Amino acid sequence: MPRVDLYRYVHMGQRERLFALAIEVGAADTAQRDTVVSLTERCLAMTRELREHADHEDRHIHPLLRERAPEAADALDAEHIRLDAALAALDDRARRLPKAPDEELPDAQHALYLALNELISAYLAHLHAEETVAMPALWQTSSDAELGAVFAAFKASRTPEESLSDLRKMLPSLPPAIRAAIVRATLTTVPDDETGRTLAALTTTLDPGRRGRLYEDLGVPEAWALKPMENGRDR
Protein backbone atom coordinates (compact mmCIF):
# COMPACT_ATOMS: atom_id res chain seq x y z
CA MET A 1 0.00 0.00 0.00
CA PRO A 2 1.42 3.44 -0.93
CA ARG A 3 2.78 5.49 1.93
CA VAL A 4 1.28 8.86 2.84
CA ASP A 5 3.02 11.47 0.65
CA LEU A 6 2.78 15.04 1.92
CA TYR A 7 4.28 16.65 -1.18
CA ARG A 8 3.45 14.72 -4.34
CA TYR A 9 0.12 15.99 -5.62
CA VAL A 10 0.36 19.61 -4.55
CA HIS A 11 3.79 19.82 -6.19
CA MET A 12 2.39 18.46 -9.44
CA GLY A 13 -0.13 21.29 -9.49
CA GLN A 14 2.54 23.88 -8.75
CA ARG A 15 4.75 22.67 -11.57
CA GLU A 16 1.93 22.85 -14.11
CA ARG A 17 0.96 26.39 -13.11
CA LEU A 18 4.56 27.62 -13.10
CA PHE A 19 5.21 26.20 -16.56
CA ALA A 20 1.95 27.67 -17.88
CA LEU A 21 2.82 31.07 -16.42
CA ALA A 22 6.25 31.02 -18.07
CA ILE A 23 4.64 30.37 -21.45
CA GLU A 24 2.10 33.12 -20.83
CA VAL A 25 4.73 35.70 -19.86
CA GLY A 26 6.95 34.85 -22.81
CA ALA A 27 4.17 34.99 -25.41
CA ALA A 28 2.09 37.89 -24.07
CA ASP A 29 1.28 40.90 -26.25
CA THR A 30 2.52 43.74 -24.08
CA ALA A 31 1.29 46.28 -26.63
CA GLN A 32 -1.97 45.86 -24.72
CA ARG A 33 -1.62 47.69 -21.40
CA ASP A 34 -4.28 45.55 -19.72
CA THR A 35 -2.12 42.55 -20.56
CA VAL A 36 0.85 44.20 -18.87
CA VAL A 37 -1.18 44.74 -15.70
CA SER A 38 -2.44 41.16 -15.86
CA LEU A 39 1.10 39.77 -16.10
CA THR A 40 2.14 41.75 -13.04
CA GLU A 41 -0.86 40.53 -11.07
CA ARG A 42 -0.35 36.91 -12.16
CA CYS A 43 3.33 36.88 -11.18
CA LEU A 44 2.71 38.53 -7.81
CA ALA A 45 -0.13 36.08 -7.13
CA MET A 46 2.25 33.19 -7.87
CA THR A 47 4.91 34.43 -5.48
CA ARG A 48 2.27 34.94 -2.77
CA GLU A 49 1.05 31.40 -3.30
CA LEU A 50 4.54 29.92 -3.10
CA ARG A 51 5.34 31.83 0.07
CA GLU A 52 2.05 30.73 1.62
CA HIS A 53 2.83 27.14 0.65
CA ALA A 54 6.24 27.40 2.30
CA ASP A 55 4.62 28.78 5.45
CA HIS A 56 2.25 25.80 5.56
CA GLU A 57 5.16 23.39 5.25
CA ASP A 58 7.10 25.21 7.97
CA ARG A 59 4.07 25.03 10.26
CA HIS A 60 2.84 21.50 9.62
CA ILE A 61 5.60 19.34 8.09
CA HIS A 62 9.00 20.69 9.03
CA PRO A 63 8.66 20.44 12.83
CA LEU A 64 8.34 16.66 12.45
CA LEU A 65 11.11 16.60 9.85
CA ARG A 66 13.45 18.58 12.09
CA GLU A 67 12.71 16.27 15.01
CA ARG A 68 13.15 13.02 13.08
CA ALA A 69 15.62 13.95 10.31
CA PRO A 70 17.49 17.17 11.16
CA GLU A 71 19.99 16.77 8.31
CA ALA A 72 17.14 16.72 5.79
CA ALA A 73 15.65 19.79 7.46
CA ASP A 74 19.01 21.56 7.18
CA ALA A 75 19.11 20.76 3.45
CA LEU A 76 15.70 22.39 2.96
CA ASP A 77 16.79 25.46 4.92
CA ALA A 78 19.69 25.91 2.50
CA GLU A 79 17.27 25.67 -0.44
CA HIS A 80 15.15 28.45 1.06
CA ILE A 81 17.98 30.99 0.80
CA ARG A 82 18.19 30.71 -2.99
CA LEU A 83 14.42 30.45 -3.29
CA ASP A 84 13.75 33.59 -1.25
CA ALA A 85 16.13 35.57 -3.46
CA ALA A 86 14.43 34.32 -6.63
CA LEU A 87 10.97 35.19 -5.26
CA ALA A 88 12.11 38.71 -4.40
CA ALA A 89 13.68 39.18 -7.83
CA LEU A 90 10.46 38.14 -9.58
CA ASP A 91 8.38 40.47 -7.40
CA ASP A 92 10.70 43.34 -8.33
CA ARG A 93 10.54 42.64 -12.06
CA ALA A 94 6.77 42.22 -11.96
CA ARG A 95 6.23 45.55 -10.22
CA ARG A 96 8.55 47.35 -12.63
CA LEU A 97 6.82 46.05 -15.77
CA PRO A 98 3.81 48.46 -15.78
CA LYS A 99 6.13 51.41 -15.18
CA ALA A 100 8.22 50.75 -18.29
CA PRO A 101 7.76 53.17 -21.22
CA ASP A 102 6.23 51.63 -24.33
CA GLU A 103 9.55 51.48 -26.17
CA GLU A 104 11.15 49.59 -23.24
CA LEU A 105 8.32 47.10 -22.71
CA PRO A 106 9.78 44.28 -24.86
CA ASP A 107 13.00 44.27 -22.84
CA ALA A 108 11.09 44.61 -19.56
CA GLN A 109 8.87 41.69 -20.56
CA HIS A 110 11.90 39.54 -21.34
CA ALA A 111 13.53 40.50 -18.05
CA LEU A 112 10.35 39.37 -16.27
CA TYR A 113 10.43 36.14 -18.28
CA LEU A 114 14.02 35.48 -17.23
CA ALA A 115 13.26 36.24 -13.58
CA LEU A 116 10.31 33.86 -13.65
CA ASN A 117 12.41 31.11 -15.16
CA GLU A 118 15.13 31.69 -12.58
CA LEU A 119 12.48 31.20 -9.91
CA ILE A 120 11.25 28.06 -11.64
CA SER A 121 14.82 26.71 -11.70
CA ALA A 122 15.23 27.37 -7.97
CA TYR A 123 11.79 26.06 -7.15
CA LEU A 124 12.21 22.83 -9.10
CA ALA A 125 15.39 22.13 -7.14
CA HIS A 126 13.50 22.83 -3.93
CA LEU A 127 10.66 20.48 -4.87
CA HIS A 128 13.16 17.79 -5.83
CA ALA A 129 14.85 18.07 -2.43
CA GLU A 130 11.52 17.76 -0.63
CA GLU A 131 10.45 14.78 -2.72
CA THR A 132 13.74 12.84 -2.79
CA VAL A 133 15.32 13.83 0.54
CA ALA A 134 12.71 15.07 2.99
CA MET A 135 9.84 12.70 2.20
CA PRO A 136 11.99 9.53 2.21
CA ALA A 137 13.47 10.66 5.52
CA LEU A 138 9.98 11.02 6.96
CA TRP A 139 8.98 7.59 5.63
CA GLN A 140 11.99 6.05 7.36
CA THR A 141 11.32 7.74 10.70
CA SER A 142 7.55 8.25 10.92
CA SER A 143 4.48 6.05 10.75
CA ASP A 144 1.62 6.60 8.33
CA ALA A 145 -0.53 7.53 11.30
CA GLU A 146 1.88 10.34 12.18
CA LEU A 147 2.07 11.52 8.57
CA GLY A 148 -1.70 11.35 8.29
CA ALA A 149 -2.02 13.49 11.40
CA VAL A 150 0.21 16.12 9.78
CA PHE A 151 -2.02 16.18 6.70
CA ALA A 152 -5.17 16.28 8.84
CA ALA A 153 -3.82 19.25 10.81
CA PHE A 154 -3.15 21.12 7.58
CA LYS A 155 -6.65 20.40 6.27
CA ALA A 156 -8.18 21.55 9.56
CA SER A 157 -6.32 24.85 9.25
CA ARG A 158 -7.99 25.65 5.90
CA THR A 159 -11.38 27.26 5.46
CA PRO A 160 -13.87 25.56 3.11
CA GLU A 161 -13.12 28.23 0.48
CA GLU A 162 -9.36 27.72 0.82
CA SER A 163 -9.75 23.94 0.58
CA LEU A 164 -11.80 24.33 -2.60
CA SER A 165 -9.14 26.61 -4.07
CA ASP A 166 -6.40 24.12 -3.13
CA LEU A 167 -8.18 21.33 -4.98
CA ARG A 168 -8.95 23.44 -8.04
CA LYS A 169 -5.26 24.24 -8.39
CA MET A 170 -4.18 20.63 -8.02
CA LEU A 171 -6.77 18.55 -9.90
CA PRO A 172 -5.83 19.43 -13.51
CA SER A 173 -2.31 18.05 -13.01
CA LEU A 174 -3.27 14.63 -11.65
CA PRO A 175 -3.77 11.29 -13.41
CA PRO A 176 -7.46 10.46 -13.94
CA ALA A 177 -7.67 7.72 -11.31
CA ILE A 178 -6.05 9.87 -8.63
CA ARG A 179 -8.20 12.86 -9.56
CA ALA A 180 -11.36 10.78 -9.27
CA ALA A 181 -10.30 9.29 -5.93
CA ILE A 182 -9.62 12.72 -4.42
CA VAL A 183 -12.90 14.17 -5.70
CA ARG A 184 -14.85 11.12 -4.53
CA ALA A 185 -13.35 11.43 -1.04
CA THR A 186 -14.12 15.16 -0.98
CA LEU A 187 -17.76 14.59 -1.91
CA THR A 188 -18.23 12.23 1.04
CA THR A 189 -17.57 15.17 3.37
CA VAL A 190 -20.46 17.36 2.14
CA PRO A 191 -24.23 16.95 2.65
CA ASP A 192 -26.05 14.96 -0.01
CA ASP A 193 -27.93 18.00 -1.29
CA GLU A 194 -24.61 19.84 -1.79
CA THR A 195 -22.71 17.17 -3.74
CA GLY A 196 -23.76 18.35 -7.18
CA ARG A 197 -22.88 21.96 -6.48
CA THR A 198 -19.56 20.97 -4.87
CA LEU A 199 -18.61 18.79 -7.82
CA ALA A 200 -19.40 21.58 -10.28
CA ALA A 201 -17.29 23.99 -8.24
CA LEU A 202 -14.36 21.56 -8.05
CA THR A 203 -14.22 21.06 -11.81
CA THR A 204 -14.04 24.70 -12.93
CA THR A 205 -10.29 24.45 -13.64
CA LEU A 206 -10.57 21.26 -15.72
CA ASP A 207 -10.67 21.44 -19.49
CA PRO A 208 -13.63 19.66 -21.17
CA GLY A 209 -11.71 16.45 -21.78
CA ARG A 210 -10.49 16.08 -18.22
CA ARG A 211 -13.84 17.11 -16.80
CA GLY A 212 -15.69 14.59 -18.96
CA ARG A 213 -13.29 11.83 -17.92
CA LEU A 214 -13.79 12.70 -14.25
CA TYR A 215 -17.57 12.43 -14.52
CA GLU A 216 -17.18 9.15 -16.36
CA ASP A 217 -14.89 7.80 -13.63
CA LEU A 218 -17.32 8.95 -10.95
CA GLY A 219 -20.18 7.26 -12.78
CA VAL A 220 -22.42 10.34 -12.88
CA PRO A 221 -23.67 12.42 -15.82
CA GLU A 222 -22.05 15.83 -16.08
CA ALA A 223 -25.48 17.47 -16.26
CA TRP A 224 -26.17 16.19 -12.72
CA ALA A 225 -23.73 18.67 -11.21
CA LEU A 226 -24.58 21.46 -13.61
CA LYS A 227 -28.37 21.34 -13.28
CA PRO A 228 -30.14 24.63 -12.51
CA MET A 229 -30.43 25.87 -8.94
CA GLU A 230 -33.57 27.28 -7.38
CA ASN A 231 -33.58 29.33 -4.17
CA GLY A 232 -30.01 28.24 -3.47
CA ARG A 233 -30.94 24.54 -3.47
CA ASP A 234 -30.84 21.78 -6.04
CA ARG A 235 -34.08 21.35 -7.94
In the chain, the domains with their CATH numbers are: 8-155 (1.20.120.520), 160-234 (no CATH)
- Give the per-residue pLDDT at 235: 31
- CA distances (Å), 146 to each of 58, 59, 185, 188, in order? 16, 15, 20, 23
Residue 126 has pLDDT above 80, yes or no: yes
Whole-angstrom distance, CA of residue 204 vs CA of residue 170:
12
- With a CB cutoff of 8 Å and minimum separation 6, the contacts of 25 are 39, 42, 43, 109, 112, 113, 116
- What does pLDDT average to over the chain? 92
The SS3 of residue 3 is coil
- Give the per-residue pLDDT at 226: 59
- With a CB cutoff of 8 Å and minimum separation 6, the contacts of 177 are 217
- Give the per-residue pLDDT at 79: 81
pLDDT-based confidence at 231, cuts 50/70/90?
very low
117 or 229, greater pLDDT: 117
Length of the chain: 235
Residue 233 has pLDDT above 60, yes or no: no
Model confidence pLDDT, tens digit, residues 186-224: 999 999 889 989 999 999 999 999 999 999 999 988 766
- CA distances (Å), 188 to each of 9, 134, 181, 193, 215, in order? 20, 31, 11, 12, 16
Beta carbons of 135 and 7 less than 8 angstroms apart: yes
**Pairing outcome for strands 229-230 and 233-234:** antiparallel
pLDDT-based confidence at 232, cuts 50/70/90?
very low
Model confidence pLDDT, tens digit, residues 161-185: 999 999 999 999 999 999 999 999 9
Model confidence pLDDT, tens digit, residues 80-122: 888 999 999 999 999 999 999 999 999 999 999 999 999 999 9
pTM of the model: 0.90
Check the CA dihedral 27-175-154-204 and report its sign: positive
CA atoms within 13 A of residue 85's CA, in its CB half-sphere: 7
Beta carbons of 229 and 197 less than 8 angstroms apart: yes
Residue 70 has pLDDT above 70, yes or no: yes
CA atoms within 13 A of residue 222's CA, in its CB half-sphere: 12
